Structure 1
Amino acid sequence: MPRYTFTLNGNEVSVEAPANHPLLWTLRDQLGVTGPKMGCNLDVCKACTCLIDGEAYTTCVTAMSDVEGREVTTIEGLADGDELHPVQQAWLEMDVPQCGFCQPGQIMNAVALLKNTSEPTDAEIDEIENVCRCGTYFRIRKAIKSAAEKSGGN
């Protein structure tokens, strides 16, 4: 079985997995990283979104062969010690989560968006397309705009 080495939340890891094995299941089952959630396993709900080299990827359809030598960041890797990432802080301040299941993917997509745009429009936020069964979209929008204002997109 092939071995893949990549950086996970700042630490180098090495795992054995089939080349087409989804990153989501390697993260959860082999590495014990449970922030990314499995909602649909079809690249629809986006609950499993993580960053790979700073860009948003749905890990349920990202093969292990695609992460070799790359940097993977999950929700667990966003905070700097006890200091939350500005998007995480905005999520709390705007009281976004209800059930919380989709929130790691929502946050990771928001972080990727703000990396590329410091003043996101409603249309850009709508392009995120994460599914929230609780319907907190208006609070998600407010949180993304709040984080953008406070961090200037960083």
Structure 2
Amino acid sequence: MATQQIIVEVPDQVLLAQKTDPSTFGREMRVLSAVKLYELGRLSSGRARSKPNCRTWSRHMAEAISNTSPLFYLHQIGALDWLPRLFSDVWISNAVVQELATGKRQGCNVPDLRACRWIRVVDPQRLPSEWLSLDLGPGELSALALALENPQYTVL
């Protein structure tokens, strides 16, 4: 059997856990190994989340907010499946859902959101000032509002 060496960077708090709690250390090492395999393209995010003791996987992956265009165009080039490899969750608003539904009614090839289990529909609590809506569509406006409310998320 061939072997391959990989280097896994271990945060200090995990090394401290080694001294006090072997089960916590083992669990963290499994998660860090899964993260490294993910970075190397050897493990998908969905498969990593399904592994026993890797329930903390999502904290190691970024989360994103999208408007309609990234979803539409990634779908057009057959690359929509890249998103769950890069992000644990992708949030869209109901405005984005409606824009995609409108596109479908007009005959556009749009993604089937029911098949994208990694997409969550979340509406912003507030929309920015009305003057912004003069230049932005409802999907863009709601995506920016979600981003302002959740600055830790990556905006697509």
Global fold match (TM > 0.5)? no
Q: Of the two, which has the highest radius of gyration?
A: 2
TM-score normalized with structure 2 length = 0.24
TM-score normalized with structure 1 length = 0.25
Give the structure with the higher percent strand. Answer: 1
Give the structure with the higher percent helix. Answer: 2
